Amino acid sequence: MRLPQRPVALFVALILCLAASAVRGDVYVWEDSQGRTHYANDKEYVPREILEDENAYRLIETVKRPSAASRTPGTHSGPRPQRVKAASAPAAPDRSNMGALQDQYRNVLQQMRDYRKRNQNLNTPEYRNLQKSLRSIRKEMSRLRKRPKAK
């Protein structure tokens, strides 16, 4: 007995759509008592005391991309990776200024963490100023790393 092709094709398309909608995932994000941020994609890995307090963690819903094995050959989703040029070993940065910049960087990061704990809205001038200062510290650190070694 031969099945009609059109209903079989519709059934297969329906199954594929349902399978694609089932590849959702959740990511749990929380901070421990030492201020370290943790991520888990399974509720089992989140400490019980964190799960009991709804304000202690954030839940991020995600959609997983299909694995490379499930894609058909010759198709590509997303930007192509670029080749990285081999670089020589970087010159040693000025440690006195670098240490001060790293301290500033840590302080601004802590201020941002504290701000996120207190406020839901991150689209404020105060938070944008923190982001701006973080970017300027990063640029300065990068500039120090690239500067040639003093003789």
- pLDDT of 79 reads 57
Mean pLDDT by 10 residues, the chain (151 residues): 68 66 68 84 83 76 57 54 50 66 92 90 90 92 77 57
- pLDDT of 149 reads 61
CA dist., res. 7 & res. 5, Å (int):
6
- pLDDT of 93 reads 46
How many angstroms separate the Cα of 22 from the Cα of each of 27, 72, 85?
Answer: 15, 20, 40
- pLDDT of 39 reads 83
How many angstroms separate the Cα of 23 from the Cα of each of 10, 11, 13, 63, 73?
Answer: 21, 19, 16, 6, 21
Write down the H helix ranges in 2-94. 5-21, 48-52
